[in-house]
Amino acid sequence: MLGGMEDQVTRILKQWAAERPDLDVSPMAVVGRISRTARKIDAVLAATFARHDVDSASFDVLATLRRSGKPFTLSPRELTESAMVTSAAIAQRLNRLEERHLVTRAPDAKDGRGKQVTLTPAGLDLVNRALPDHVETEHALLAGLSKEERGQLSELLAKVEQAATETRP
Amino acid sequence: MLGGMEDQVTRILKQWAAERPDLDVSPMAVVGRISRTARKIDAVLAATFARHDVDSASFDVLATLRRSGKPFTLSPRELTESAMVTSAAIAQRLNRLEERHLVTRAPDAKDGRGKQVTLTPAGLDLVNRALPDHVETEHALLAGLSKEERGQLSELLAKVEQAATETRP
DNA sequence: GCTATATTGCTAAGCACTTAGCTATATTGA
DNA sequence: TCAATATAGCTAAGTGCTTAGCAATATAGC
């Protein structure tokens, strides 16, 4: 434990050590920090998106369509699988995006149940303009980490993510 | 990049490389994985809490009171500062907890504006019973990481968290 | 071929958060 | 001293998610 920082996570651990010395609460240091870091990152990214008049959820949909390549079309099902939310949430996001004329919904000729969601020129323009700003924000967040450290961080998180996926009830 | 895994994050990076080769989107690998890991962890922890008839938000309040030590009393203000939510959210959490008789709200004798939130015996009992299960779940999430790796992960995340905190608009 | 089941996309209702703004009390400073 | 400002706690309204459940279409099994 280098750099004896007395931050929030450290303080919580000390409290538990005093109150429940029978429990090994050391995992809280890592798990708690993942959660806290993610929330702070969300706030920073949201500020960037706000400068481009979108929220994170809307940008997520627009970016998913954008990176799928021409003709920038995906089904609500595919968008649901990409985002980590329910199909109902995607339907509501699409309602908002359609209302703002950033995407269109058309019937799928090959599947009578399906729809085809496509970026409008305005939607494409928005995501193209916001993307460099967004990427720059993410660069700033990681500016303090070397290339090697970023790789380490990714791999360590991947292990935890896999454990979380397998622990599913 | 060891272990050429073809997971969600990797696929997204490949798509961007094809669509926007002018942008260095490599930070997405790390930032995206922090977010995804945090959400999956939340789901796993929520399942544990559900077995004890609480949600994560309620447990967070109960645990904060518990680890503050006897007499298990804090002000709404202190609870707000500990949780990463607004004071309005804490007020509503306390409404729910008070309704379930897991905490009490009393006036603060030393500050006419303040309140004193205290664990009831039922609240203390609940958190004492849920805590070992919760800690065990967190251990399981980190089972794949050595002690050294956990330390590394914490430190790397702390750097990102600090960058996020300083990037506040 | 036709019935049973699965899939797709959606709306409705409920929930926990947010922002905005209120009241009551405490603190500051002219 | 006492007016101006700050702080504590709260409610109300709005937002974006969830679960539940719908109709329409596709697929599987007999």
- Asked if B58 and B130 sit in the same domain, the reply is yes
Q: How many domains, chain B? A: 2
Contact A29, A9 (CB under 8 A): yes
CATH code at A154? 1.10.10.10
Which residues 6+ apart lie within 8 Å of A18 measured at CB? B69
CB of B53 lies under 7 Å from some atom of strand C: no
Task: For residue A2, tell me if it sits in a domain.
Answer: no
Q: What is the pLDDT of residues A61-95, one digit of tens each?
A: 999 999 999 999 999 999 999 999 999 999 999 99
Residue A25 confidence (pLDDT) above 60: yes
Which residues in chain A are closer than 8 Å to B74, comparing Cβ atoms?
A: none
CA distances in angstroms from B85 to A6, A156, B21, B82, listed in the order given: 21, 28, 38, 9
Task: For residue B97, tell me if it sits in a domain.
Answer: yes
Residue A36 confidence (pLDDT) above 50: yes
- Asked if B76 and B101 sit in the same domain, the reply is yes
Please report, rounded to whole angstroms, the spatial distance between the CA atom of protein residue B21 and the C1' atom of nucleotide C16. 40
pLDDT score recorded for residue A165: 86
Mean pLDDT of chain A: 92
Please report, rounded to whole angstroms, the spatial distance between the CA atom of protein residue A48 and the C1' atom of nucleotide C25. 38
CB of B169 lies under 7 Å from some atom of strand C: no
Task: For residue B159, tell me if it sits in a domain.
Answer: no
Lowest mean pLDDT segment, chosen from A156-160, B3-7, B20-24: B3-7
Task: Give the percent of chain B with pLDDT over 90.
Answer: 88
Task: For residue A139, tell me if it sits in a domain.
Answer: yes
What is d(CA A144, CA B30) in angstroms, rounded to the nearest whole number? 13
A144–B159 C-beta distance less than 8 A: yes
What value does the mean pLDDT take over residues A113-141? 96
- Asked if B13 and B34 sit in the same domain, the reply is yes
Task: For residue A21, tell me if it sits in a domain.
Answer: no
Q: For B72-101, what is the HEC assignment? A: CEECHHHHHHHCCCCHHHHHHHHHHHHHCC
Residues 58-117 of B with CB under 8 A from A: 66-69, 82, 84
What is d(CA B154, CA B164) in angstroms, rounded to the nearest whole number? 15
Q: Which of A105-110's residues contact partners 24+ apart within 8 Å by CB, and which partners?
A: A108/A75
Strands A111-119 and A73-74: antiparallel
pLDDT score recorded for residue B169: 52
What value does the mean pLDDT take over residues A146-165? 92
pLDDT score recorded for residue A168: 62
Q: What is the pLDDT of residues B50-105, one digit of tens each?
A: 999 999 999 999 999 999 999 999 999 999 999 999 999 999 999 999 999 999 99
Q: What is the pLDDT of residues A51-60, one digit of tens each?
A: 999 999 999 9
Q: Closest nucleotide to A89's CA, by C1' atom? A: D17
- Asked if B100 and B69 sit in the same domain, the reply is yes
- Asked if B25 and B43 sit in the same domain, the reply is yes
Residue A3 confidence (pLDDT) above 80: no
What value does the mean pLDDT take over residues A20-46? 93
Q: Is the dihedral of CA B156, B158, B159, B161 positive or negative?
A: positive
Residue B108 confidence (pLDDT) above 90: yes
Task: For residue B90, tell me if it sits in a domain.
Answer: yes
- Asked if B15 and B37 sit in the same domain, the reply is yes
Task: Give the percent of chain A with pLDDT over 90.
Answer: 88
Residue A2 confidence (pLDDT) above 50: no
Which residues 6+ apart lie within 8 Å of B124 measured at CB? B66, B72
Counted across chains A and B, CB pairs separated by less than 8 A come out at 206
Q: Closest nucleotide to B55's CA, by C1' atom? A: C16
Task: For residue A23, tell me if it sits in a domain.
Answer: no
Domain that holds residue A161: 9-14+28-166
Interface check A17 vs B, CB under 8 A = no
What is d(CA A102, CA A58) in angstroms, rounded to the nearest whole number? 10
Task: For residue B169, tell me if it sits in a domain.
Answer: no
Contact A96, A60 (CB under 8 A): no
What value does the mean pLDDT take over residues A14-18? 94
- Asked if B19 and B34 sit in the same domain, the reply is yes
Q: Closest nucleotide to A117's CA, by C1' atom? A: C9
